[in-house]
């Protein structure tokens, strides 16, 4: 059963009265075995480009066959069949290959009232038997790079084995840069990556432990929050033990890459093993009450924590997200290291040039209308000379440019495109 996240089962619906998102999964990223290259799905890219305003991306990642797609189906509000939602199945073979998005972006808003469209991103399970370590790192890295909220889905509690599986984070920080000119890696570079990283939620499935622990100095046991449980698990281990440096490197990488982090435990949904294998097909009433409440709270928490995707001070639109996805894939296929700020600058420059071209077309049309005396708009009433016609046409063109250009008002790509556009306005006048 899939919960209606826009009505019953959600404490914070994305938009009051909005219907469940009807859509289908679209393949965003896949690996072509023939060419040994990553490819992007054009239908998924077109879906992103169709979103004109800000977009946020909620990605769910984790090991294969541990229920990632089930959680995304709760968020998507999809029908309770394998064909209608993200693929879910009971076999050991992974259902999801590469990266998939839900074709119906969810109109929502932050607790502060900022509106954006939420993109749901499903990832191939990491550490599957048919994967290489490099491939797992690349899939993990792409999900982190594209998301504004990254959910790591895992069975059980946080122990040393669970932390070891997240050594992908350490590998990822070696293969991603903020700028292409970076030549050194280290704690400083990883900390800088953290400024561009998504919010992080460690989701613990089938969690059965009591959240209680003693103080650092060995005091009496007391109840702790999930967030405290996570922070205690990420404490550095004493040096001198076996593999202590490697263990601390993983902990340090997680803390540096995900400075904004949270933990959320979910109990086992049912006790019957056979029913557990077909979780999406179970009626809601057959799920344990504690699990139903937990999923409702999780959905509300994820919607409240997610934000529009940012790179630095800039908020990404759907077209911008499609552009940076292309830039990251081109870097991977070319054997280069994806550089966040560099990729964003190239995308912003290209989109600003397109916005300037569109603005110049509007200028030409408006100026011609003024010159011919057949414009009927109020702002043309007094445009009886070339200067007034030029300024009126230029004002209209700037509205088009500002609506389509990417980047903050004072950013380099926007300033350069504006200067070139203004020079062309003067030349055409």
Residue closest to 121 by CA, chosen among 320, 292, 321, 261: 321
Quick check: 314 and 117 in contact, CB under 8 A? no
Q: CA-based angle 88:308:24, to the nearest 5?
A: 30
Q: Where are the beta strands (DSSP E) in 221-377?
A: 222-223, 261-265, 310-311, 314-315
| pLDDT attached to residue 215 | 61
Could you give phi then psi for residue 177, rounded to 5 degrees? -125, 160
pLDDT band at 86 (very low <50, low <70, confident <90, very high): low
Indicate the pTM of the whole model.
Answer: 0.79
Cα 335 from chain centroid? 23
What mean pLDDT do residues 375-395 have? 67
**pLDDT tens-digit series, residues 27-49:** 999 998 889 899 999 999 999 99
Name the percent of the chain in helix, strand, coil, to the closest 5: 45, 15, 40
What mean pLDDT do residues 95-124 have? 88
**pLDDT tens-digit series, residues 180-215:** 665 445 445 666 787 888 999 999 998 887 887 766
Q: CA-based angle 267:271:275, to the nearest 5?
A: 110
Q: Where are the beta strands (DSSP E) in 19-114?
A: 25-32, 37-40, 55-62, 99-102, 106-109
CA gap 197, 260 in Å, rounded: 9
């Amino acid at each position: 059963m899939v919960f209606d996240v826009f009505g019953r089962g959600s404490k914070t619906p994305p938009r009051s009265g909005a219907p469940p998102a009807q859509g289908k999964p679209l393949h965003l990223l896949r690996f072509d075995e023939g060419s040994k290259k990553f490819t992007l799905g054009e239908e998924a890219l077109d879906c992103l480009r169709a979103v004109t305003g800000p977009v946020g991306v909620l990605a769910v990642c984790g090991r294969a066959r541990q229920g990632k797609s089930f959680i995304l189906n709760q968020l998507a509000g999809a029908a309770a069949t394998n064909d209608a939602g993200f693929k879910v199945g009971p076999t050991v073979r992974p259902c999801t290959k590469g990266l998939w998005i839900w074709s119906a972006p969810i109109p929502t808003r932050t607790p502060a009232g900022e509106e954006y469209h939420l993109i749901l991103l499903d990832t191939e399970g990491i550490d599957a038997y048919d994967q290489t370590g490099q491939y797992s790192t690349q899939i993990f890295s792409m999900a982190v790079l594209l998301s504004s909220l990254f959910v790591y889905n895992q069975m059980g509690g946080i122990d040393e084995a669970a932390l070891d599986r997240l050594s992908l984070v350490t590998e990822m920080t070696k293969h991603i840069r903020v700028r292409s000119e970076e030549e050194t890696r280290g704690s400083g570079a990883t900390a800088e990556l953290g400024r561009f990283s998504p919010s992080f939620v460690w989701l613990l499935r089938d969690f059965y432990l009591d959240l209680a622990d003693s103080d650092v100095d060995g005091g009496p046991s007391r109840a702790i929050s999930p967030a405290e449980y996570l922070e205690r698990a990420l404490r550095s281990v004493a040096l001198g033990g076996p593999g202590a440096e490697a263990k601390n490197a993983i902990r340090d990488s997680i803390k540096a890459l995900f400075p904004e982090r949270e933990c959320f435990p979910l109990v086992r949904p049912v006790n019957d093993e056979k029913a557990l294998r077909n979780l999406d097909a179970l009626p809601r009433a057959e799920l344990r009450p504690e699990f139903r409440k937990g999923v409702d709270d999780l959905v509300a928490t994820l919607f409240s924590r997610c934000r529009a995707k940012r790179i630095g001070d800039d908020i990404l639109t759907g077209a911008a997200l499609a552009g940076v996805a292309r830039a990251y894939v081109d870097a991977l296929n070319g054997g280069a290291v994806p550089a966040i700020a560099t990729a964003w600058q190239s995308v912003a420059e290209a989109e600003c040039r397109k916005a300037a071209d569109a603005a110049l077309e509007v200028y030409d049309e408006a100026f011609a209308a003024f010159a011919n005396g057949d414009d009927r708009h109020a702002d043309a009433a007094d445009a009886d000379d070339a200067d007034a016609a030029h300024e009126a046409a230029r004002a209209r063109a700037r509205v088009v440019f500002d609506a389509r250009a990417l980047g903050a008002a004072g950013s380099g790509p926007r300033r350069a495109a504006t200067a070139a556009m203004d020079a062309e306005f003067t030349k055409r006048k």
